[in-house]
Amino acid sequence: MTNDPLLQPYQLRHLTLKNRLMITSHEPAYPEDGMPKERYRAYHVERARAGVALTMTAGSASVARDSPPVFNNILAWKDEVVGWMKQLTDECHDHGCAVMIQLTHLGRRTRWDKADWLPVVSAGHAREPSHKAFPKVAEDWDIARIIADYADAAERMKEAGLDGIELQAYGHLMDQFWSPLTNDLDGPYGGSLDNRLRFTFDTLSAIRERCGEDFLVGVRYTGDEDLPGGLTKNDGLEISRRLKDSGLVDFLNVVKGHIDTDAGLTDVIPVQGMRASPHLDFAGEVRAATRFPTFHAAKVQDVATARHAIASGKLDMVGMTRAHMADPHIVAKIMRGEEERIRPCVGANYCLDRIYQGGMALCLHNPATGRELEQPHEVPEAPETRRVVIIGAGPAGLEAARVSAARGHDVIVHEAANDPGGQVRGASDRPDTAPRRDDPAGPMAFRGMHADGRDVPLQQLRGCSDRTGG
């Protein structure tokens, strides 16, 4: 028994989530032939085994052939996905972790020369600055076909035994209908807010009809585009209420901002040097306005802030997504009272940059991430111990030293410079090297919640025996 707010179960209709930590949808670009095979499965199972309550798999899994991935996403429009997703889901379920998947049609957020070179469709002709395709405006038969594609993909996921799905609506086709900036349609799908939301509600109705009431369905959406002429916060709150009132969704997963440019994407997924948890209060406002299950993730990198997000009632489930890439064992370490041993995500975004430029997400802080099949996160003891001499205390040398020591070897490290760290030292956030990488103190940056409810600097929580949760 524990009174840690993060470790309390959460009841999402019929599904009991065993704690309040989730991994939000993020495509690490590990699919092979568009399928989540062994490597993909091992990545999620590692985190399920360590105790995360819900993993939202994939990221932008494609529901239709004319939504070709730009960086190797799961092809949810293929029937063969069912078998692969079933294996992943069954193994995560064995560890008590719920599994859902994010489904989407990218609309204009793709390139014209991907996959089958089919025409890129959207609700208007406006070109997306990042991917630069000129979309054709979706015609009635495109809309009807894509709604059916969503329902087909949802049904495949139900067949694979997943607990539910979420639909992506920030920067993708769904909210390209919502936003006045990207919807040029007239008639039933353009013009008033009612009309701009019609594609979403038609899709949700089709999914419900196909998958029934017991399959959980949510929407991950922007609650404020933060763009002149785009969806405002008031629009976002109105959309949140309508999603709830529709009776078609079970949870809201809200983000703030727009992703059509790299700068916009960076505000939605903040990197090092930017404020911590910048949109947490906004997500809390959505929860307060709707009194509906609300999930959120955006640079909640430390356990104290995650705990605050739950204890203060801003969120029902808190996403620590990159944090789980850097350390898959966050929940296990919280439960063991070893928070100080969590390997922190520093927000360098090597992982995200790499899906475009290197073809797969890897973590600057943890070489075993994405390599679970060949590099275990928990290092086994060596059958016989040796003396290991390492020349160079840069990141590779230090990791080799750490792993060798964990295996039980006798390790000596030689370094020519005065201090260890190699090139990372130069790139780190020390004031004399790269001060812009330092986190400015946001509302919760380096702060956490004391057991008595006080908001205090994180240092005061370290080693403090009566902090919330132990």
Ligand X SMILES: Cc1cc2nc3c(=O)[nH]c(=O)nc-3n(C[C@H](O)[C@H](O)[C@H](O)COP(=O)(O)O)c2cc1C
Of residues 133 and 352, the one with the C-beta less far from ligand SF4: 352
Of residues 60 and 200, the one with the C-beta less far from ligand X: 60
- Selection from ligand SF4, ligand X, none that 12 binds (CB < 5 to 8 A by kind) is none
Q: How far is the CB of 12 from ligand SF4 (least distance, A)?
A: 26
Of residues 7 and 325, the one with the C-beta less far from ligand SF4: 325
Task: Kindly state whether residue 319 participates in binding ligand X, applying the rule CB under 6 A.
Answer: yes
Task: Kindly state whether residue 130 participates in binding ligand X, applying the rule CB under 6 A.
Answer: no
Task: Kindly state whether residue 216 participates in binding ligand X, applying the rule CB under 6 A.
Answer: no
Task: Kindly state whether residue 99 participates in binding ligand X, applying the rule CB under 6 A.
Answer: no
Within positions 303 to 332, which residues make up the interface with ligand SF4, using CB under 6 A?
322, 325-326
Task: Kindly state whether residue 21 participates in binding ligand X, applying the rule CB under 6 A.
Answer: no
- Residue nearest ligand X, CB atom distance: 59
Which of 346, 355, 393, 444 is close enough to bind ligand SF4 by CB under 6 A?
Answer: 346
Task: Kindly state whether residue 102 participates in binding ligand X, applying the rule CB under 6 A.
Answer: yes
Within positions 53 to 72, which residues make up the interface with ligand X, using CB under 6 A?
59-60
Applying CB under 6 A, the span of 19-27, 129-137, 239-247, 335-343 interacting with ligand X comes to 19-27
Task: Kindly state whether residue 345 participates in binding ligand SF4, applying the rule CB under 6 A.
Answer: yes
- Selection from ligand X, ligand SF4, none that 364 binds (CB < 5 to 8 A by kind) is ligand SF4
Of residues 239 and 300, the one with the C-beta less far from ligand X: 300
Within positions 332 to 361, which residues make up the interface with ligand X, using CB under 6 A?
351-352, 355, 361
**449-458: long-range contacts, CB 8 A cutoff, minimum separation 24:** 449/304, 449/307, 449/308, 449/311, 449/312, 455/308, 458/302, 458/304
Compose the 347-386 pattern: x for residues touching ligand SF4 by CB under 6 A, - for all others. Answer: xxxxx-----------xxx---------------------
Number of residues that bind ligand SF4 (CB under 6 A): 13
Residues that bind ligand SF4 (CB under 6 A): 322, 325-326, 345-351, 363-365
Residues that bind ligand X (CB under 6 A): 24-28, 59-60, 102, 168, 220, 269, 297-300, 319-323, 351-352, 355, 361
